[in-house]
Structures are given as C-alpha cells and as structure tokens.
Amino acid sequence: MNMSVSQSIVPFLETISKLKTTPRTGWLYHGIEAPESIADHMYRMGVLTLLCNDPGINKDRCVKIAIVHDLAESIVGDITPHENVSKEEKHRLEMEAMNKITQEMLPLDLAMNAQEIRELFLEYEHASTSEAKFVKDIDKFEMLAQMFEYEKKYQGTKDLSQFSWASQLIKHSQVKGWLQDLMTEREAFWKTIQGKLEK
C-alpha cells in the first residue's frame, strides 16, 4: 500500500466525478455536439448487464465490472484510436491510473474494497471470465445503440457507420439478438431517410 494513502474519500470522489463531465471522444471526432460522458456510457452498460439471462453468468459481478471498467479514464481520459496510442501503452497508462486510484485515493480502511475494484478492472482488461466477456459485448452494444441514437438525433445528416465494426466482435447470443433488433431498426431508418432524399 502506498505511503501517501488518503485519509479521506474526498480525493476519490473528486477524481471519479470527472467521468460525469468527460465526453466520449469518439463522438467529438465525428462532430457530435455535447456527446455522452464516460459515466453516461458506463451507467447504461450497468443497467443492460442486469438483463443478462444466461444462467452461467454472474449478473451481479457483471454490473460491478461495468461500473468500474472505465474508471481509469477519470485520470487518462478516453483514449481512442485517433490518439495513435498503442494497445500496450493504453493498458500501461490505465493500469498506472488504476493503481493511483486504488492505492492512493482511498483510506486504509477501504483497502479491501480498493483491491476488489482493481481486480474487477483487470478481469475486464484480460477478458478472463465469462462475466468480463459478456461486459465487453455490452460495451460494444451500448456504443452501437448510441451510434444509432445520434444518427436519429441528426435526422440522417450524420452517417456514423464507421462505428459499426464493433458489431462483428459481439459473441454472446443474447447480445447478438439485441444487436439484430437494433440493426433492423437502423436499416429501416436509413431506408426512410433515403426515400425522403429521392423525393
């Protein structure tokens, strides 16, 4: 445990509060005004994991993983491929941030809780369990849902299909089913937009 461990929970609160105001930068790069925050994304992920109906997956653990998986971004920000940061460097930066959060920003009496947060983060990073794999699928699905919502918000003036690569990486059958529903609606939306343009 770091010797500069906090005597209060306040530094932790102040750090994670940044998740509420830090935008998901991928949307900014595509001209979305006032896009969702990192916390917005994680909150909906947390709710979606509650809908897991796979008896082989611990739903409660999924919720925990979902609400901590981007915690490091409160320090390093939302690193996207646009930043040209390697996967290894991204992991190193985020691990450094998680160590700071869990070893320096929480009081000593919360050391066990801090360790749990760190372990949940690593479980997600390494996709080492069925729960982590499910949450990774939810991460991608939530982004795709947000993509479609922004396309609708901008009434078809923004085609965000460059984000749809994520659909190929979704593996869990339940999430694949949700994805199919989403993409069916999206296809119908774009057909309507195309029809209006042709008139």
Alpha carbons 140 and 138: distance in angstroms, whole number: 5
- Is the pLDDT at 3 greater than 70? The verdict is no
Torsional sign, CA 88, 91, 97, 98: negative
User: 41-72 pLDDT, tens per residue?
Assistant: 999 999 999 999 999 999 999 999 999 999 99
In the chain, the percentage of residues whose pLDDT exceeds 70 is 97
> In this structure, are residues 38 and 131 in contact, taking their beta carbons and an 8 Å threshold?
no
| DSSP β-bridge partners for residue 37 | 23
How big is the CA angle at 96 (ends 114 and 115), to the nearest 5 degrees? 15
Q: Which of 65, 15, 18, 11 is nearest to 38 (CA)?
A: 18
CATH architecture of 10-198: Orthogonal Bundle (1.10)
Distance between alpha carbon 11 and the CA centroid of its chain, in Å?
23
Domain boundaries, the chain: 10-198
Query: In the numeric block, which tokens belong to residue 41?
Result: 């994304």
Query: In the numeric block, which tokens belong to residue 140?
Result: 């991608």
pLDDT for position 4: 66
Alpha carbons 177 and 167: distance in angstroms, whole number: 11
pLDDT for position 183: 97
Tell me the whole-structure pTM to 2 decimals: 0.93
pLDDT for position 1: 43
pLDDT for position 82: 75
User: 130-177 pLDDT, tens per residue?
Assistant: 999 999 999 999 999 999 999 999 999 998 999 999 999 999 999 999
The count of C-alpha atoms lying within 13 angstroms of the C-alpha of 69, restricted to the half-sphere facing its C-beta, is 27
- Is the pLDDT at 2 greater than 50? The verdict is no
Torsional sign, CA 144, 145, 151, 153: negative
Q: What is the mean pLDDT of residues 177-194?
A: 96
pLDDT-derived band at 79 (thresholds 50, 70, 90) equals confident
Mean pLDDT of the chain: 94
